[in-house]
Amino acid sequence: MSRQSSRATDPRKISQELFTLTYGALVAQLVKDYESDEEVNKQLDKMGYNIGIRLVEDFLARSGIGRCNDFRETADIIAKSGFRMFLGVTPSVCNWSPAGDEFSLLMDNNPLTDFVELPDDHSNLNYSNVLCGVIRGALETVQMDVSVRFVQDTLKGDNQTEIRVKFIQRLEDALPAGEE
Amino acid sequence: MADDFIFDFLHMEVVDFVQRTTNPDEKDKVISKLEQMGYRVGQSLIEKFTRDSPRFSSELDIIKFVCKDLWNGVYKKQVDNLRTNHQGVYVLQDNKFRLLTQMSSGKQYIESAPRYLAFPCGLIRGGLANLGVNCVVTAEVSTMPACKFQIMIQRT
């Protein structure tokens, strides 16, 4: 009773699709639950943050990467190791600010949006906003305070997806945030 | 590969989110929301799974497909045991269910287990619904990480 097709399906692609679809179901639920797109963006970012602070441990354990010496190295690791390990894509790092504290991640295709079309009445929705939260959460755990936002999104008609990451400050060895 | 783990992380966060945003008095609503989301995902996922496979010859064939291919794709293993009463009730037993393995191996946290099984239940139901099988899927855990999914097929 073995089915030929089962061997043809690529397991990596399946887990990718499962992830994409689950994320889609989540966004749909959020859009239903909240009235404004801004609120949905905020929730997605928050959930991303929660994922990021856990994901970074998994990432460090798996990749064996140590501490970064500068922000450029951080950017390279996010793009070449982080994104590749979890999403299977390698964004390019570009548009460095002169001070070297801000860069962009450019993606030709965003795996989160594989089966998505954005309706006209949700023009403010940053569909993949979870990524911003993940990056922020992950970097906070390694003592870097950053702000992350979407500047371009293929879902909104841009040619590529651009995520802007800005270094704010180094967090000191101290009590974890929120605990006085 | 690490990309399966990203689903685990997302699933944890989804469960937590639904739990957090639902009124504590409406415990059932948490389960039903998660189930609904799973249903949607299952519906789309099964289309991708079965795209190249031949037509199923019987109901049992469909269930076997779920136990082998769907489980393999989603949870990276097959169902350990399948039982049926030949009257439309199937019990799928998984001795090491992926979404529970990280939580405990025993009775600890057993009261939160149902929340983590609602999405998978919906996933099965959505998948089967798209193959023309209407059913009710429930999950049961006695000792983690083993769990049993019961599929009751509705014939009307």
3-class secondary-structure state, position A125: coil
Helices marked H in A34-70 — which ranges? Answer: 37-63
Radius of gyration of chain B (CA): 15
Cβ(A92)–Cβ(A154) below 8 Å: no
Proportion of chain A above pLDDT 90, given as a percent: 51
| B44 contacts A14? CB cut-off 8 A | no
Chain B CB within 8 Å of residue A84 CB: no
Q: Tell me what percent of the residues of chain B surpass a pLDDT of 70.
A: 97
Name the least confident of A129-138, A160-169, B104-113, B146-155.
B104-113
Nearest Cβ partner for A9 among B14, B36, B73: B73
What does each C-alpha distance from A106 to A12, A79, A89, A163, B49 come to in angstroms? 23, 9, 11, 7, 31
Tell me which chain B residue has its CA closest to the CA of residue A17. B45
Q: Which of residues 74-133 of B touch A (CB under 8 A)?
A: 74, 76
Q: What is the pLDDT of residues A88-121, one digit of tens each?
A: 889 999 999 999 999 999 998 888 888 888 888 8
> What per-residue confidence (pLDDT) applies to A6?
44
Report ipTM for this prediction.
Answer: 0.89
- B35: closest chain A residue by CA: A25
d(CA B40, CA B72): 19
What digits encode the pLDDT tens for the residues B40-49? 999 999 988 8
Each residue's pLDDT tens digit, B62-102? 999 889 888 988 888 899 999 999 888 999 999 999 888 88
Mean pLDDT to the nearest integer, A13-18: 82
**Is the CB of A115 less than 8 angstroms away from the CB of B44?**
yes
DSSP reduced 3-state for A176 = coil
The answer to whether B14 contacts chain A (CB < 8 Å) is yes
A19, B7: Cβ pair inside 8 Å? Answer: yes
Please name which of A27, A63, A53 lies closest in space to residue A135, comparing C-alpha atoms.
A53
- pTM for the model stands at 0.88
Mean pLDDT of A27-41: 91
Contact A63/B at CB under 8 A: no
**Contacts A31 to B, Cβ<8 Å:** none
Q: What is the mean pLDDT of residues A144-153?
A: 92
CA A66 and chain centroid, separation? 21
Cβ–Cβ below 8 Å for A6 and B37: no
Both tokens of B48, joined, read 């991708």
